[in-house]
């Protein structure tokens, strides 16, 4: 098992087995064999047992007498769990997963922006301004841009002062984080600071309608940026067709 400094063996085992399940290495209905996992991961029986207990709490697996430990149907998975969201998006997220996240953001963020415009405090605005200043700073690298973007959107949801809405940050941050890693990592993207600044100004002004419109513009740009990067990364169909195929 790959060793990650600063992470315990238990956590590493949870992540490795969880990622395998999410990727489909162990499809629903298949059986996990703890003894094989011990050998493959190079960990003790206790570590595997505790890892499986955690994965069971996330709805990924279940253990029954005579049947052993099996992968549960995807419908039973706790898809809003932060780990599951991270595991789905950390490798090569599917288009369907990205579309689901984009749709959730489109539902949650404009509503959050509307509430933030009427409920924000000076502390909320200060957090949003600080994140935006980091995004706009010259020489800000991709990792810093991702962190600042996440901080801005977290502050926006917190400014709505709705505990349940704030808890949606786990989904927002998953979608935003995946999008940012793809877009900012490509080094070719539209400047997102102006649309973020437009949203901040609307919230500062206490204008709910303007905040909703600005949130919509921001989401539209985010989707366009992601689509443009993914399109550039797809192989050109004409080029692919032009490659001679070996005789069968």
pLDDT tens digits for range 169-196: 888 888 787 877 777 766 656 678 999 9
Count of domains for the chain: 2
The answer to whether residues 119 and 68 belong to one domain is: no
Q: What is the pLDDT of residue 185?
A: 67
The answer to whether residues 59 and 142 belong to one domain is: no
Q: What is the pLDDT of residue 191?
A: 78
The answer to whether residues 98 and 26 belong to one domain is: no
In a domain, 82, yes or no: no
Q: What is the pLDDT of residue 63?
A: 92
The answer to whether residues 116 and 18 belong to one domain is: no
Nearest alpha-carbon partner for 124 in 79, 158, 168, 175: 158
The answer to whether residues 72 and 96 belong to one domain is: no
- Point out the residues of the chain with pLDDT beneath 70: 1-7, 91, 185-190, 233-248
Q: What is the pLDDT of residue 91?
A: 66
- Which residues constitute the domain of residue 37? 9-76
The answer to whether residues 104 and 221 belong to one domain is: yes
Nearest alpha-carbon partner for 44 in 4, 13, 3, 5: 13
Cα(46)–Cα(67) distance, rounded to whole angstroms?
A: 20
Q: Which residue has the tokens 């599951």?
A: 84
Q: What is the pLDDT of residue 235?
A: 58
In a domain, 87, yes or no: no
The CATH number of whichever domain residue 32 belongs to comes to 1.10.10.10
Cα(40)–Cα(32) distance, rounded to whole angstroms?
A: 12
Nearest alpha-carbon partner for 83 in 170, 181, 183: 170
| pTM reported for the whole predicted model | 0.78
């Amino acid at each position: 098992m790959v060793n990650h400094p600063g992470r315990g063996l238990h956590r590493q085992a949870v992540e490795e087995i969880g990622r395998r399940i999410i990727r489909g290495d162990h499809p629903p209905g298949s059986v996990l064999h703890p003894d094989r996992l011990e050998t493959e991961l190079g960990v003790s029986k206790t570590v595997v047992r505790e890892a499986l207990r955690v994965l069971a709490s996330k709805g990924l697996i279940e253990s029954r007498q005579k049947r052993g430990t099996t992968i549960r149907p995807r419908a039973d998975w706790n898809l809003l769990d932060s780990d599951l969201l991270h595991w789905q998006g950390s490798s090569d997220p599917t288009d369907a997963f990205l579309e689901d996240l984009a749709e959730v953001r489109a539902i949650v963020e404009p509503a959050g922006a509307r509430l933030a415009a009427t409920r924000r405090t000076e502390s909320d605005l200060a957090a949003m301004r600080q994140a935006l200043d980091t995004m706009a700073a010259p020489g800000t690298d991709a990792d810093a841009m991702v962190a600042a973007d996440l901080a801005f959107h977290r502050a926006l949801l917190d400014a709505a002062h709705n505990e349940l809405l704030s808890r949606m940050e786990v989904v927002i941050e998953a979608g935003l984080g995946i999008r940012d890693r793809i877009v900012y990592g490509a080094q070719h993207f539209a400047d997102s600071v102006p649309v973020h600044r437009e949203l901040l100004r609307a919230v500062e002004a206490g204008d709910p309608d303007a905040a909703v419109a600005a949130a919509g513009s921001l989401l539209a740009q985010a989707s366009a940026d992601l689509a443009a990067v993914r399109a550039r990364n797809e192989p050109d169909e004409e080029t692919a067709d032009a490659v001679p195929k070996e005789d069968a």
